Structure 1
């Protein structure tokens, strides 16, 4: 079955598939070939989607929590049943190896299951006022219609991470998926409708005009919430645009993750963790290890072991069973990675592996290793978003922590050490919303995902994730 047969390609508004005045092309980054033409939403289309969401809000909010939970559970079951076709679709539009897409589908489904369980646990509080003459009762209610903006690098999981808690809380929504990878989101719309999500509750509007669509929605007084995953630069603009309407905002923004290997680390375990933290999705992740800060006592051992592991990886199209590293999302992304590597070399870093674009079709960049990377190199201050490990050696723990914190980002950090007390001390000192201690993967539907400093506001997943879609109401009841 072709991708055209697998994925709907219209706008999904009010429970119906509709055309737009124009379409745009979706390409396979492994080949550069066009795989689909998707409806291109405009500002008026966005308003129609918000019409549908606002019209469905009261009914969905009043729907029994158990009913919402059962719909989410059914969506989890359907995603599990359709996992292989969803994985293949994600691989075609995003490029990563099929095994990684299968893992993403499982991760995406976990959010549906987790928030199915949380939907029936939305609580409140009851207490007597300190004065004793009345009772304080609090309840949590859905915030209202939401606008969700998701990135291209995890085209299904980044959607369910927002959609599942919104549905569980009783919110309706308009989703704008990334223009590079809209097909997975459109398939999700089809799946949620099959699971029983009522018309108008979930609307999807792909577009090549994000500023127009976003401007129309953020200016509409019916919208009450914005959730965005993407770059810090765009997040700042969206926060400014959200201020006039005093919208509730959730921002999962850029990272610059340090990966610390202390002198007492299990080096073999650190290399295993580095392969996960760096190479998942070819490094195209906000939680990818961006800077390897390695104690000088183990730097040579760690570097050589990591170089051998990276050199053994096979780069190729995601649907190729032997492929372990897929393409970057497009040629612009590949060229940016190449420029960062070349700049680091000019500043004195030593290229130990890779470092040159892969010839032929597709936007491939090979696994690359740099050592002796100076602290002022842009590659240490910007998200690489590619399969490049940049290593710098340090003589003491304090210097490593200081270097790790010398950034405006604060999403995630990784620490490898055999000493638990030391791990906790360093973990506390690191300025990050998440810290992986002796593991290279922190993402889990049951854990709160999010950062501090300029890496964002709010949390997704975990017990905290549903709070982003709820308001607290206080009732003062005369005793």
Structure 2
């Protein structure tokens, strides 16, 4: 495994704590490292350091911040292979997909290095000849960021790059499964001459007390969180006493709609990608597959053929498509959702096997609408396929969920593409596109999938506050 720090990164220094926790790899169940285990004491120290650093960092010019972010992006690129291998060791993502994640991270860092140069205000026409009305944009303050395990490099960069670009300081709590990736990014930030206290990383095996401490701290102006809806709801409540600004990217339950006029070959290929990359462990992964009855038999046959070519195995092998799930709990969820569907009369078309943490790509048909898989994220290579008879039925099924993060549809009818995209209740829609996310576009959802946006200029604005200035001329 590549060398990486294992101590907490607080106020620009590596802080090696006596209390540590073990990080194990899903690849071989072996210990990767023992990492400093932060608690409320470290949270207080980090909050103080972030507050002090903010007073200086906010005064730097956007060009100074852009230069540091550019150097950081270059260093991530230089260390791309080590970071990719670190991702694979920590969460089991196939190495080709880990390398693609690093490319995304570099693109995000470079995007915000440039975008921060376009933080501009406005002048508003005044009805009074002796008044000048202006809108200024200022960094909101120290930020508390919490990232998940499934994209441990790109998700970190997507949160902290816009915050740092805006002039905010960041305290990062990475997922306990994948702290090493975040610590490596902190090391590279310091190497890029990021000032002490601007980025701090607090690994923790029990993040609840640490999070409660920072959420109660009035000096922390904003929370940026990606994770489960249940945890997001708790954090939402904890932020209310201090009226924190919130960005919450929570659970998803993405439907895929395949209409009769779709390019079936393209729809199969892109839906395979949308579902099975990261073994389905993505909040925007295809979770429910709905196909027009007119093409359901043909589409199903072609989909099964494509699934048969997916290779499950060693995530470090160049030809592996699906590696291990992140934990035994994830495997148990796969098994429970599968068994629930089968008990309700579903037909198993392929897969259904689990060996250790490796689960085979699995397709189910003829499901009861009450099956758990229709109401929960799978976060595994388990997918139900069902038919529909009309546009109205397809939209109704797609929207029949409290989540609203992503959705996908395939059609060659431009009018239908607009009608369906406008009717879907979610934040991200891929029309004939199974991978719509890109650094310059917003990423976020509606309903129980959260609030706010990451990516593009919208992600930067999440860390800025408006100052209205009215100037009476003498």
Residues 277 and 321 of structure 2 are in contact (CA less than 8 Å); yes or no, is this contact kept in structure 1?
no
Pair 1:477-2:446 in alignment: no
Report the Cα offset of residue 322 of structure 1: 3.1
Aligned equivalents of 2:46, 2:313: Cα separation in 1: 39
How high is the TM-score relative to the length of structure 2?
Answer: 0.98
**Offset of residue 130 of structure 1:** 3.2
Counterpart check, 1:388 vs 2:385: no
After superposition, give the CA deviation of every residue in 1:410-449 in whole Å (9 maximum; x if it has no partner). 0010010011111011000000101000010111111100
In the TM superposition, residue 275 of structure 1 has moved relative to its aligned partner by 1.0
Question: What displacement does 1:35 show?
Answer: 1.1
Shift of 1:133: 4.5
In 1, distance between residues paired with 2:193 and 2:118?
A: 21
CA distance in 2, matches of 1:434, 1:36: 37
CA deviation string 1:169-188 (max 9, x = no partner): 00001000000111100000
Q: Which portions of structure 1, spanning 4 or more consecutive aligned residues, are displaced by more than 3 angstroms?
A: 130-133
CA distance in 1: counterparts of 2:22 and 2:307, whole angstroms: 33
- Residue in 2 aligned with 1:448? 442
1:366-385 matched pairs, under 5 angstroms: 366-385=360-379
Question: Residue in 1 aligned with 2:244?
Answer: 247
1:299-345 Cα shifts (integer Å, max 9, x gaps): 11111111111122111121123321000000000110111011011
Whether 2:398 is the aligned partner of 1:401: answer no
Note the 1:62-461 alignment, pairs <5 A.
Answer: 62-358=59-355, 362-461=356-455
> What is the CA distance between 1:375 and its match in structure 2?
2.0
Deviation at 1:136, TM superposition (A): 1.2
Contact in 2 for aligned 1:147/1:226 (Cα 8 Å): yes
- SS of the aligned residue for 1:464 comes to helix
Give the secondary structure class of the aligned counterpart of 2:176: coil
CA distance in 1, matches of 2:419, 2:318: 43
CA contact (8 A) 1:30 1:316 kept: no
Gaps of 5+ in 2: none
**Over the residues paired in the alignment, what is the CA RMSD in angstroms?**
1.0
Q: Offset of 1:131 from its aligned partner?
A: 4.5
- Check conservation: 1:374, 1:392, Cα contact below 8 A: no
C-alpha displacement of 1:129: 2.2
Distance 1:218 1:411 in 2: 25
The CA distance in 2 between the partners of 1:469 and 1:372, in whole Å, is 46
Note if 1:32 corresponds to 2:26: no
Q: CA deviation at 1:58?
A: 0.9
Query: 1:167, CA displacement in angstroms?
Result: 0.8
Distance 1:326 1:130 in 2: 64
Measured after TM superposition, the shift of residue 380 of structure 1 is 0.8
Contact 1:78 1:191 in 2 (8 A): yes
Number of residues paired by the alignment? 473
Question: Does the 8 Å CA contact 1:96/1:317 hold for their aligned counterparts?
Answer: no
TM-score, reference length from structure 1: 0.97
- Aligned counterpart for 1:47 among listed residues 44, 49, 54: 44
Q: Is the 8 A contact 1:459 1:468 kept in 2?
A: yes
Q: Quick one: distance in 2 between partners of 1:331 and 1:130? A: 66
Distance 1:71 1:374 in 2: 54
Counterpart CA distance in 1 for 2:373 and 2:129 is 61
Q: Secondary structure at the match of 1:297?
A: coil
Distance 2:37 2:389 in 1: 54
Separation (CA, whole Å) in 1 of partners of 2:102 and 2:58: 28
| 1:128–1:134 Cα contact (<8 Å) kept | no
